Amino acid sequence: MYHSISDEEEAAVHPYFRITTSRAAFFSQMKYLYQNNYETCTPQQAADSLNRSSVSSTKRVVITFDDGYRDFYREAFPILNQFKFTASVFLPTGYIGDKTIKFKSRDCLTWSEINELQRYGITFGSHTITHPRLRGLNRDALKEEVTVSKITIEEKTGTAVETFCYPFAFPQTDLEFKKMLRELLCQAGYRQGFTTMIGRADASSDQLFFERLPVNSCDDAALFRAKLLGAYDWVAKPQKAMQFVKAWKQGQYQPGGNGPKVTRAC
């Protein structure tokens, strides 16, 4: 899970919450994947692979970028292309235009750049329209964010959009909200979804709410390797526990845990 490829300083931000990865760090991380025989794939290819019962020795990664920042076009794509890697970029369509629009003080991609990138194998998914905290929306507003953003990307790119990326921290302890979101994603025609839940996806993962590994400039070679091998997956437990504690304090705790995982999206 990447956001911005930039040399911008984030010294005042805790390393866990930083969203920038320097060009040098990103190059080093992609070089590591290449030298260690990792293959990149699309969300659909990843889902298909996980649905198969056969065991494969192929090491696959889905490289994702949230927020549709223009530095993907300028900085990330040339490096990805050098290693013949692909990636999936998630667009908040309200900030994507024919001319550059800023989101969180950063330039976003334009539709012409998106169409150019698409010709080189970069795939695009929805990151809502306005990048709101979805949990606070009513059903109609939530439906508009997930549906209209999908339609917009499809109209602008001429390609079906089947992947959704959840903005902000994913409320994994709110079962009622997850049920409603799942229904709306399925109705809209999504087949895969990504969240901020930490971990590596496997056959037990819910394919509308895939886990991811956050990466930024603080990931040196040792930490990057550890994340790929699963040594960072333990962070998912305290992440989930913190959400339960927060929900309990707000009177929103729902007993019963997350329930059974669902491998099939819809």
Contact by Cβ (8 Å): 131, 167: yes
Domains present along the chain, CATH in parentheses: 4-249 (3.20.20.370)
pLDDT in tens, 121-135: 999 999 999 999 999
pLDDT in tens, 191-220: 999 999 999 999 999 999 999 999 999 999
pLDDT in tens, 17-70: 899 999 999 999 999 999 999 999 999 999 999 988 666 778 999 999 999 999
What local confidence, expressed as pLDDT, does residue 58 receive? Answer: 87
Q: What count of other Cβ atoms lies within 10 Å of the Cβ of residue 34?
A: 15
pTM comes to 0.89
166, pLDDT greater than 90? yes
Distances in Å between the Cα of 264 and the Cα atoms of 119, 162, 174, 208, 227 are 29, 14, 20, 8, 25
What local confidence, expressed as pLDDT, does residue 256 receive? Answer: 47
Look at the chain and count its residues.
266
What local confidence, expressed as pLDDT, does residue 251 receive? Answer: 59
